Amino acid sequence: MDKFKVSLVTSLVVYSFFILGCSILSSGMTVDDERIAPMMEAINDVDRSSFGFTSIPKDSQIILEEGHQTYDVMLHIYSSKSSRTIAFLKTPDGYKWIHEQEIHSGPKKYTTPDGTFNEQIVITYETVRVSGVPLNQINIEYYGNDPRLSNQSNLTLSDVTPIIQEWGNLEK
């Protein structure tokens, strides 16, 4: 099985693990919802743009998920530009940002034995093991057939930023 297929299967298994091991506390929230104000404060304490994460659009829809053994709360955030998860640990002063994964979907389709999907760039950074990527470093994966990115290991923000801009998911 090539690296792409192994990575896709691993991502699907990790996602399924999170869904089965956690429960939803609240859904249908926006960034201004008071229930997530402490988490939004923790998000603002981190220079997320240095890790390649975009700002969270005001019209995003948010689902609040209660903890798992490695985090206390996770926000699932959906907008027209991307989707993301952000995990936090509870502290005496509020919450601490420990993980973020942002998924940018592109316009082109690709097919696997599991079906046909839009190409994606996935950026992940975590300080505590949540999804299994190496800690304290930017991890970027690409799923699709774009020759600029496919079959490349160790993608960087310099590699993917122009493509995310091309897809209209990032300000130029």
- By CB neighbour count within 10 A (0-12 exposed, 13-18 middle, 19+ buried), where does 86 fall? buried
Say which residues have a Cβ less than 8 Å from residue 165's Cβ, sequence separation at least 6: 171, 172
Question: Three-class SS of residue 127?
Answer: coil
pLDDT in tens, 103-142: 999 999 999 999 999 999 999 999 999 999 999 999 999 9
Whether pLDDT at 21 is above 70 = no
Higher per-residue confidence, 146 vs 18? 146
User: Which of these, 164, 135, 134, lies nearest to 149 by C-alpha position?
Assistant: 164
pLDDT of res. 9: 43
Q: What is the pTM of this model?
A: 0.83
pLDDT in tens, 59-86: 999 999 987 789 999 999 999 989 999 9
User: Which of these, 41, 51, 27, 40, lies nearest to 133 by C-alpha position?
Assistant: 51
**Cα separation of 38 and 137, whole Å?**
25
pLDDT in tens, 147-168: 999 888 899 999 999 999 999 8
Question: Three-class SS of residue 157?
Answer: helix
136-140's contacts with Cβ under 8 Å and 24+ in sequence apart are: 138/51, 138/52, 140/52
